[in-house]
Amino acid sequence: MTKIKEFTYQDGDFVVYPTHGVGKILGTEKSQIAGMDVQLMVIRFEQDRMTLRVPLEKARTLGLRTLSSRKHMDDAITTLKSKAKIRRTMWSRRAQEYEAKIKSGDPVSIAEVVRDLRKRDPQIEQSYSERQMYQAALDRLAREFAAIEEIDQESAATRLEDLMDAA
């Protein structure tokens, strides 16, 4: 077990990196960068087929965190079930705000994006970029939900969409 400023982790733990989502800690390694020995945390993001090495001393400032608590995920689910906030601002402006919420890594903020972009009326057409952003937000939320519930990502996404349908 290793501890970084109130952040304790073990190899095999899941963590959330705001810009990439949920990853699994593979371990730590030492590397020499610019003539200095640096301790790196190795994180695997299976969904992106990517391995990231994060300097331990920068892990917190980069936003690396443990998985959300069940209570925090319940708050995100409550947000999903709430009424969508339809704003009449230009799509480019809303897209920037939605992108910032997704990159924040906060499940409640991501749930707001999923809720607001969920197509409820089959008569209303969605643009390609709206569908893409909806899918990106749902995938990000489903990954963390899946890790917390210990289920696969596809089942998690289905459960989240079923919760929205039932609301």
Per residue in 36-65, pLDDT tens?
888 889 999 988 889 989 888 888 888 888
Q: Give dist(CA 41, CA 26) in Å, integer.
A: 8
84 and 56 in one domain?
Answer: no
Per residue in 102-142, pLDDT tens?
988 899 999 999 999 987 666 677 888 999 999 999 999 99
Which pLDDT score, from 0 to 100, does residue 4 have? Answer: 53
For residue 116, the domain's CATH number is 1.20.58.1290
Which pLDDT score, from 0 to 100, does residue 65 have? Answer: 87
76 and 24 in one domain?
Answer: no
Which pLDDT score, from 0 to 100, does residue 73 have? Answer: 93
End-of-domain residue from the set 29, 44, 66: 66
Q: Is the dihedral of CA 3, 14, 112, 134 positive or negative?
A: positive
Q: Give dist(CA 161, CA 53) in Å, integer.
A: 33
Which of 160, 98, 91 has the alpha carbon at shortest distance from 134?
98
How many structural domains compose the chain? 2
Quick one: CA torsion of 106, 108, 114, 120, rounded to 10 degrees? Answer: 180
43 and 74 in one domain?
Answer: no
